[in-house]
Amino acid sequence: MARWRALTADIAAVDSEIAALLAGSDGQVLTTLPGVATARAAAFAAFSLPIDRFPDAEHLYSATGLAPGAYQSSTINRRTPISRQGLPEHRDALMNLAWGLSQHCGPFIDRHRELRARGLRPIPARIALARHACRLAYTLLKTQQPLDEQRYRRARHQSER
């Protein structure tokens, strides 16, 4: 029991250090996302900041290695579900962001349900959600405005028309 208490205290100390570091960066805005606490926000921000390195959200998404890949030679033309070109830690951070949103954010819960109803298996559905999460995170990091869930829901439905 003493070991567990010591580990819990160490985890709390590290969490408070991460929170202090995140508070001094542009990544703090990611903590306004439902289901995204300090650890998830800090992990994604660590690999994505400064956001000005990426001209748009698609470049950020591609940097994570989750974008579809392609291999071509004179006789072979092969597509892969993900390219895996980026850092695995960046990819994991984005997938964790998508996971948190899919558990706690209304529009992402609905989108996940839609993807699963269309027949997507769990991992491909989460990869699709990660693309939406990446676009949202990019916008938040660029504008430094917290998430307005109603505005996000309206914008998403307008773009589908």
Domain boundaries, the chain: 2-160
Residue pair 129/101 in contact (Cβ under 8 Å)? The answer is: yes
Q: Give percent of the chain with pLDDT exceeding 90.
A: 78
Compute the distance between CA of residue 96 and CA of residue 107 in angstroms, rounded to an integer: 17
What's the whole-number average pLDDT of the chain? 92
Q: Tell whether the model's pLDDT for residue 161 goes beyond 60.
A: no
Integer-rounded Cα Rg, in Å, for the chain is 18
Residue 130 corresponds to which tokens in the numbers above?
A: 């990660």
CB 32 within 8 A of CB 147: yes
Does pTM surpass 0.85?
Answer: yes
**Range name among 35-39, 88-92, 95-99, 156-160 with the lowest pLDDT average:** 156-160
Tens-digit pLDDT profile for residues 103-146: 999 999 999 999 999 999 999 999 999 999 999 999 999 999 99
